[in-house]
Amino acid sequence: MKLYQYDHCPFCVRADMVAGFRQVPHEKVYLLNDDEQAHFDLIGAKMVPILQFDDGRAMGESLDIVAALDAIETPAPHLDPWAEASPQLAALDSEGRAVNCLLFPRNVRIGLPEFATEGAIAYFTERKEAMIGISFGQAMEETAQHKAAAEAMLAAMPELAPPADGRLRMGDVLVYPHLRNLTMVRDLAMPGWMRGYLETVTALCGTHLYDDRAI
Ligand SMILES: N[C@@H](CCC(=O)N[C@@H](CS)C(=O)NCC(=O)O)C(=O)O
């Protein structure tokens, strides 16, 4: 089984979390961001994550992949269906542009495998600069302003208790990828509960944070 993904993609992290937590044997494949053909060959669309079974069948859509990975019998427990994470997701949404201005330019500057070539960086940069309406250079220059907005939003976010019984919940699959990506912003202030939450879920899923390369 192969899990095609980008390291920075929150939808890919959903699948990666569940594959890790449920101990599903798989190979991680990081596609180049501009390798349209590889994506189309697998699912007929330029989209990750993609799960490919050993018989060659491939599927997209992170939540379908999560369900497929959860359906496989392994020694690990199944996902806890608890999914009451809408207050946290709404908070993240409310500062979506500030978060994008922080993350998009950093995505291509921290040595991720999907951006291993100049072509992949240029492909992503062109599309995401159009989305935020400013250049990555300007977004980096405006870091203080976007950080302040993101920090205020995080400070007011309702606390999410970490999974207490060693069982990953659907709510974690939805929220963790977004909070985890914010660790690529150096010295971004997070409430204490959030750091604890990130560390617990990271350990549970065998994923990684970005503190060691934050900029
Ligand atoms: N609904 C899809 C959304 C996946 C998605 O938007 N993936 C992004 C990466 S974060 C993507 O592949 N975008 C196309 C691109 O990067 O060119 C899912 O949940 O899997």
Tell me the pLDDT tens digit for each residue of 150-182: 999 999 999 999 998 899 999 999 999 999 999
What is the CATH superfamily name and number for domain 2-71? Answer: Glutaredoxin (3.40.30.10)
Tell me the pLDDT tens digit for each residue of 66-120: 999 999 999 999 999 999 999 999 999 999 999 999 999 999 999 999 999 999 9
pLDDT band at 208 (very low <50, low <70, confident <90, very high): very high
Atom of ligand 1 nearest to the CA of 63: 19
Strands 27-30 and 2-5: parallel
- pLDDT score of 73: 97
The backbone torsions φ and ψ at residue 5, rounded to the nearest 5 degrees and listed phi first, read: -160, 175
- pLDDT score of 113: 98
Average pLDDT over the chain reads 98
The backbone torsions φ and ψ at residue 87, rounded to the nearest 5 degrees and listed phi first, read: -65, -40
- pLDDT score of 44: 98
For residue 79, give the DSSP letter.
P
- pLDDT score of 76: 97
Distance CA 172, CA 85 (A): 8
Q: Which CATH number fits domain 86-213: 3.40.630.40, 1.10.287.3510, 1.20.1050.10, 2.40.50.140?
A: 1.20.1050.10
Sorted by where each begins, the domain ranges of the chain are: 2-71, 86-213
What average pLDDT does this structure show over 40-69?
Answer: 98
For residue 189, give the DSSP letter.
-
- pLDDT score of 58: 98
pLDDT band at 210 (very low <50, low <70, confident <90, very high): very high
Cα of 85 from ligand 1 centre, angstroms: 21
- pLDDT score of 149: 98
What average pLDDT does this structure show over 6-35?
Answer: 98
What average pLDDT does this structure show over 10-21?
Answer: 98
Of the chain, the percentage scoring pLDDT greater than 90 comes to 99
Cα of 60 from ligand 1 centre, angstroms: 9
Pocket test for ligand 1, best of 47, 99, 112, 174 (most atoms within 8 A of CB): 47
